[in-house]
Structure 1
């Protein structure tokens, strides 16, 4: 999706003139692209990023560029968003123009100013949303200059203004993955896993959305620390505003890592779980997971998505006993995604987002990656979407842990749900990530009869394309 959108924008901006046919092509492109809710902020921001490539020292051409970007934003709002149900007021045009002009004065928008913009639109929700957004571009034309750096900063300010307006006054339309035409009952698990990968439009791009430094490789029995620096060098802050990433992040502080300590779930935490499930079920990977599981086992998998969501909640979030006491101290979600400590060992912990935040807090020490089993001397590097590594967490060692890197929360939830409901305890598949081809054994074991005990990938081979 990233490549498709970027290429389309470049073609769209190539002549900076927009007629009815091009406007129609834009709507058709978005309809075919089917961007999930979590991708809409990126999709709009990417129009500004690509637009930077077309800035010149010609003010009139730059005005045309702003009009073209405005067309794209309008198309996204029209086709992918819907206005929130809030009472609106008539905002004077002079008030809007003055607001935008003040925003563009210093050509920077910091976090506090972002909140000010958001509060402005929440306090003064304009009755005409299209005009309110178009005015942001109109006023910006007066701030264009012959200096490219200035104009790049201006585009950033416009994007910030539009982002706050949309955050305050729009919400994503319900997302529905088009029902597959083929009979999914004949699709192998390996084929379904590859399809999930292709549907993960919310996956991050190495080098753009995040940067990792794998440093030294090692054998599992090597005890020395081969990584002096953290694994994660950076993750773009925009990522944590995407609905599924944001909802996932709220769950990270809901559990105790010590087994034997009873877990209690507050009303707020229950609502956070439901919000997370709502968010991921508005994505292609989870909807495909539902279609596939239903096709494979129609007697056990409910047809209704709401009922399927209830099943997902049960297998992932219902508490059960794992430690040495009778306390309900664990769940599939906690074990797989957050990790637990038992008898001086880290168990579970197979998620890159948890790894990133724990490393950022200073709770985790990355100690190097384990060299892959390679068919052609492939080496792990910053572009790999799968890593096996060693680390210390809360002073306890994880000798070997494998997880996907940069994938979305919905991809992993869909993958392991699919393997648990339809697959075996050990599922051997081959996955082409576009960079490497991995042989994987996706392990998925149950506990408490009908709940996920653990789920994780094990890399059995790696070869470069």
Structure 2
């Protein structure tokens, strides 16, 4: 089955499940448990969580429009069902971003009343526009950061206050559903983060040998992710601090404090793949157009990095997957594969006037052109990002990637 058809099948399965939930306009304890079990069984990637939640609202809106005008009770019961689904999504796939956050530094209580009034202001015209969405995010980040103990209350309040605006008129009630979805989105985006995947220790090589290599590339990438038992875990090994939000086109930093709050540097020093990777970061001239000069010591560091990653389950899988799909790679010639890696990653080529770049530098380290970072696509490389920020380079071209960094990964540093 193709990747597109697999996604379509999963989407249809989720939509069908939501329609079954809404059919009787109620979710009891047993059905809620079954919803949680369903979400655990499908295990979508973090990028699909937003789709699941917005789809819950969209399908519910279909049921609103199917009814007769004046049926406020139906809309209210539907909204309660959506709240149950969103609660299941959040408890299954998300964790609090601000685990240790207190209500405030001066000991004042959590401003629940003020948040409720702000929700009412947002719902008043039955339309949460871009300015109001940004205002919500500023409140959740700066004015009233939501601690873990108040997340469920705050989300439930968004639904409860929304229900006050239900009238039974189809068009208006659908607008209310959209408003609640926008508020919940702002809350999740600022106050929650995807739950770290639970991973088993990397399987032995003979287990990798039994894995199906004739799968689409997207499934292979997921397999590589699942095989990784070496990455750092959010909340345990690192923490980030999101602070103020920026638009894609912003060129100034809106955050007063570092993005990287902490990181367990001992892991970076102790794990071989981290050590050999970090050793490569000072081997390059960051400015585009400045010729690279690679000495014998740096070549040894390049080979040490390749040797260390080839010991891991993800790269053993990668080797076998490439051998199954590429004539240039053979299982009988592992050294040929490492030589191919070296050529792809470390051989120099011209980006400007001289041999000033390599695949590894462009993707994993980053390059600077006219004072701006023109390349840095490895979201995991907090060391490279930290390098450029410390040196005052403008990272406007990285804004879209930094947003993804915030939600999907994060090595951090103080």
Match runs of 1:325-344 below 5 Å: 326-331=354-359
Change (3 A) 1:91 1:199: same
- In 1, the alpha carbon distance for the partners of 2:95 and 2:132 equals 25
1:33 to 21, 42, 55: 42
2:85 match: 72
Q: Which has the higher helix share?
A: 2
The question of whether the paired residues in 2 share the 8 Å contact of 1:140 and 1:158 is answered with yes
Q: C-alpha displacement at 1:327, in angstroms? A: 2.1
Match runs of 1:147-296 below 5 Å: 147-176=169-198, 183-186=207-210, 189-191=213-215, 193=217, 195-196=219-220, 261-262=289-290, 292-293=317-318
1:461 match: none
Equivalent position SS for 2:214 = helix
Q: Which has the higher strand share?
A: 1
- In 1, the alpha carbon distance for the partners of 2:223 and 2:113 equals 45
- In 2, the alpha carbon distance for the partners of 1:161 and 1:316 equals 46
- In 2, the alpha carbon distance for the partners of 1:121 and 1:40 equals 20
Q: C-alpha displacement at 1:160, in angstroms? A: 1.0
Q: C-alpha displacement at 1:117, in angstroms? A: 0.3
Q: C-alpha displacement at 1:294, in angstroms? A: 6.7
The question of whether the paired residues in 2 share the 8 Å contact of 1:321 and 1:328 is answered with yes
2:393 match: none
The count of aligned residue pairs is: 246
Change (3 A) 1:67 1:193: same
CA displacement, residues 313-352 of structure 1 (integer Å, 9 cap, x when unaligned): 98877672246964224527969xxxxxxxxxxxxxxxxx
1:87 to 101, 105, 115: 101
The question of whether the paired residues in 1 share the 8 Å contact of 2:350 and 2:357 is answered with yes
- In 1, the alpha carbon distance for the partners of 2:91 and 2:77 equals 21
Q: C-alpha displacement at 1:175, in angstroms? A: 2.6
CA displacement, residues 19-69 of structure 1 (integer Å, 9 cap, x when unaligned): 111011111011111122111111111111111111133111111111111
2:20 to 11, 24, 32: 11
Q: C-alpha displacement at 1:263, in angstroms? A: 8.7
Task: Determine whether 1:129 maps to 2:151.
Answer: yes
* TM-score computed with the length of structure 1 as normaliser: 0.45
Unaligned runs of 5+ in 1: 201-239, 241-259, 265-286, 302-312, 336-408, 410-465
Equivalent position SS for 2:174 = helix
Match runs of 1:55-66 below 5 Å: 55=64, 56=67, 57=69, 58-66=71-79
Equivalent position SS for 1:107 = coil
- In 1, the alpha carbon distance for the partners of 2:334 and 2:79 equals 53
Q: C-alpha displacement at 1:91, in angstroms? A: 2.5
Change (3 A) 1:299 1:328: same
CA displacement, residues 266-293 of structure 1 (integer Å, 9 cap, x when unaligned): xxxxxxxxxxxxxxxxxxxxx9965733
- In 1, the alpha carbon distance for the partners of 2:160 and 2:291 equals 54
CA displacement, residues 155-192 of structure 1 (integer Å, 9 cap, x when unaligned): 11111111111111111111357889995425564335
Q: C-alpha displacement at 1:146, in angstroms? A: 2.5
The question of whether the paired residues in 1 share the 8 Å contact of 2:289 and 2:354 is answered with no
Equivalent position SS for 2:215 = helix
1:320 match: 348
Unaligned runs of 5+ in 2: 1-9, 104-108, 225-247, 249-287, 293-311, 322-330, 336-340, 364-403, 405-414
Kindly report structure 1 stretches of 4+ aligned residues shifted beyond 6 Å. 177-182, 197-200, 294-301, 313-317, 332-335
CA displacement, residues 111-166 of structure 1 (integer Å, 9 cap, x when unaligned): 22111000111120234111111011001111012222212221111111111111
- CA root-mean-square deviation: 4.1
The question of whether the paired residues in 1 share the 8 Å contact of 2:94 and 2:195 is answered with yes
Equivalent position SS for 1:53 = helix
The question of whether the paired residues in 2 share the 8 Å contact of 1:84 and 1:169 is answered with yes
2:163 to 136, 141, 144: 141
- In 2, the alpha carbon distance for the partners of 1:317 and 1:118 equals 40
Change (3 A) 1:184 1:140: same
- In 1, the alpha carbon distance for the partners of 2:332 and 2:197 equals 23
Change (3 A) 1:188 1:34: closer
* TM-score computed with the length of structure 2 as normaliser: 0.51
- In 1, the alpha carbon distance for the partners of 2:118 and 2:342 equals 49
Q: Which moved more, 1:3-12 or 1:114-123?
A: 3-12
Q: C-alpha displacement at 1:15, in angstroms? A: 0.9
